[in-house]
Amino acid sequence: MSNTAKRIYYIPYMLWIVLFVIAPVALIIYQSFFNLDHQFTLANYATYFTSSTYLMMTLNSFWYALIITVATVLISYPAALFLNQLKHKNLWLLLIILPTWINLLLKAYAFIGIFGQHGSVNQFLGFIGIGPKQILFTDFSFIFVATYIEIPFMILPIYNAIAEIDPALLAASRDLGATNWQTLTRVLLPLTRKGIVAGVQAVFIPSLSLFMLTRLIGGNRVITLGTAIEEHFLTTMNWGMGSTIGVVLIVMMFLSMAVTGERHHKRKEIGTGAKEK
């Protein structure tokens, strides 16, 4: 009886997974094997892996996603550490989460105003005598805005990981004569690795296919796989090619999950081993 009840609870979950995860992915994979004339073919994949344009684009996407991820980690880790030491932690955390409630497009438009030729940044540069610079439509502005948008998704898991650490461990490390640097690298970092990995996964994968930002902030001078997918589905109606790029993205997603996940698994073993000692 209780078993059937349990199964009933699973139904909405299973329906959700099948309808919105498995079915779309299967459809994309299916679509990717058809050309414009609806014939079954492997040509889309052949095109992808022989075209220097698509390979360059893939490399670009990877490169930008990597820079964005590294930048967010560098900013988020100290920020999360700092947040944990504050008095009204939850209030400050809320302030960091707040921007995620605002639509991405609105934030992008706000940055257009800030970075524009007559925006506040250029007015400041003019005021201190450097003169207006081209900020919008550069790699810098694209990476800056993408980093800004992804930061909350990095801070949250790291913050939680730090909050879970028993303060006694840090005190013990200091008592035993470790410097601040040693405490950070030997105690804090290993204990928060899980949070960092979760953050990296939450930031790196979506960054691979950012496409609204590439146009609005990057002025299409920054091209990622997302741009190509959008074009194939909306302009050229070549759904097969668009799906192929989608499949490549999904595979890359799983690869990056596997790479980050495995390392995390190994470390855990070492960690529990240490505890047993």
Partner 1 sequence: MKKLMSFFIAIVAACILLQVGVSRLESAQGDSGAKTLNLFNWGDYIDPSLIKKFEKETGYKVNYETFDSNEAMLTKIQQGGTSYDLAVPSDYTIEKMKKEHLLIPLDRSKLKGMNNIGSDFINKSFDPGNKYSIPYFWGTLGIIYNDKFVKASEMQHWSDLWNPKWHHSIMLVDSARDILGFSLVRNGDSMNTRSPAKIAHARTELDKLAPNVKAIVADEIKMYMIQNEAPLAVTWSGEASEMLDNNSHLHYVVPTEGSNLWFDNLVIPKTAKHFDAIYAFLNFMLEPKNAAQNTEYVGYATPNTKAKALLPKDVRNDKQFYPDADTVSKLQVYEDLGLKTVGLYNDEFLEFKMHRS
Chain contacts with partner 1 (rule: CB under 8 A): 36, 53, 56-57, 60, 112, 116-118, 134, 136-137, 215-216, 219-221, 223, 227-228, 231-232, 234-238, 241
Minimum CB distance to partner 1 smaller for 63 or for 82: 63
Nearer to partner 1 among residue 205 and residue 241 (C-beta): 241
| Residue 134 to residues 116, 117, 122, 221, Cα–Cα distance (Å) | 8, 7, 9, 13
Query: Closest Cα partner for 174 from 159, 164, 184?
Result: 184
CB of 117 to partner 1, least distance (A): 5
Non-local CB neighbours of 199 within 8 Å, separated by 6+ positions: 72, 73, 76, 153, 154, 155, 156, 157, 158
CA 40/CA 31 separation, integer angstroms: 9
Q: Which residue's CB is nearer to partner 1, number 2 or number 235?
A: 235
Shortest Cβ distance from residue 2 to partner 1 (Å)?
A: 25
- Residue (96 or 114) nearer to partner 1, CB: 114
Q: Helix 52-85 to helix 239-276 angle, to the nearest 10 degrees? A: 40
> What is the closest distance, in whole angstroms, from the C-beta atom of residue 214 to partner 1 in the complex?
10
Q: How far apart are CA 154 and CA 202, in angstroms?
A: 7
Shortest Cβ 210–partner 1 spacing (Å): 15
Name the residue nearer to partner 1 (CB basis): 84 or 214: 214
Closest distance to partner 1 from the beta carbon of 130 (Å): 17
Of 58, 74, 64, the closest CA to residue 255 belongs to: 58
